[in-house]
Amino acid sequence: MFTGSLTTREAPGGPASGRAGTTSTMRPLWLLAALLALGQALPFEQKGFWDFALDDGLLMMNDEEASGAESTSGVPDLDALTPTFSSMCPFGCHCHLRVVQCSDLGLKTVPKEVSPDTTLLDLQNNDISELRKDDFKGLQHLYALVLVNNKITKIHEKAFSPLRKLQKLYISKNHLVEIPPNLPSSLVELRIHDNRIRKVPKGVFSGLRNMNCIEMGGNPLENSGFEPGAFDGLKLNYLRISEAKLTGIPKDLPETLNELHLDHNKIQAIELEDLLRYSKLYRLGLGHNQIRMIENGSLSFLPTLRELHLDNNKLSRVPAGLPDLKLLQSSQHFQPLDSRQPLQPHSTQYSPTAPHQASTFNPPPSRGPGLNFLLLMQERSL
């Protein structure tokens, strides 16, 4: 683990002793926060600031290996992992090693004086409304850019051009009406949920051969908003389009998907051809929809499926075609299947659950071919 001093830009005239005291006090607190954040991190959840800061070089390499991205997409060499101690730090921000944290400052523009060797720039929870052409000029080593919870409505078409090694772009909870153009080809993870995006045009993801994770839920996307070929060329492992306005499973999503989350939409039925191309799925989330019917045979196209979430729908029976179910859990005000008995399609082996019983989702380790986990909660008339 790298060690080094903390740089905090203070107002002119601040006492030197105050800066020294802040440095000695903040260092152990920040490291403790880092350890806590890492210990509680879950896959594909929004990461905290210090998930990137602790030994940033090793974390970058781990992310790269997990993503399957090629080594040319931004992982620094060993020389680049040497910590640097630049005196450049924007006013009011906290700078440590190559991490610049400028969150919660009421900023209206991207700050200047960011060191060129910065790998993480955290600008979340500000009032930034526009990303201009030269806002990130010179930041060729930037690995992660956090712009969550601002007021961004406009992004210049060349705003991200200098970011040749950017792998993580978090720009959720803004006011965007379209996906930013000309995203860096090095990008591995894009989180753009909770904006105002209604359309995903063809070609918007062209050239992003390293991308494997997109989170775009919480946008008013309808099925008609996806142009044919919108996802052409992508080799995604993970896609979430929850809390949108979908009435069916979108067409022509990447065939490489391992996880597809479409919870909290208005999907009414699963038809035979809807899942035909997604043979690599092992986790499918369809909870909190309006599904009344799953056509017989539609699930047989998912030979590697391990987890299927169908909670809070309008199904009257267990869908047919489920391969070798191993576990079933249920929740409050729902009637669970008895997971100790062999499951047959359309089974009626129900037993009432306690009024306030709630289950936790802890899927078991894979025990060979077949579905290991099904979360199917059928609402009981009260």
Give the residue-averaged pLDDT of 161-180: 97
3-state secondary structure of 73: helix
pLDDT band at 369 (very low <50, low <70, confident <90, very high): low
Concatenated DSSP letters for 161-227? TT-TT--EEE--SS--SSPPSS--TT--EEE--SS----B-TTTTTT-TT--EEE--SS---GGGB-
pLDDT band at 56 (very low <50, low <70, confident <90, very high): very low
Residue ranges of domains in the chain, CATH in brackets: 1-8+23-196 (3.80.10.10), 204-259 (no CATH), 267-382 (no CATH)
pLDDT for residue 372: 61
Residue 41 has pLDDT above 80, yes or no: no
Residue 261 has pLDDT above 60, yes or no: yes
Count helices and strands in the chain by DSSP H and E runs: 3, 20
Model confidence pTM above 0.75: no
For residue 375 the two structure tokens come to: 């979360």
pLDDT for residue 357: 32
Angle (CA) 122 192 204, round 5°:
120
pLDDT for residue 59: 41
Residue 158 has pLDDT above 80, yes or no: yes
Percent of the chain with pLDDT over 90: 57
pLDDT for residue 319: 75
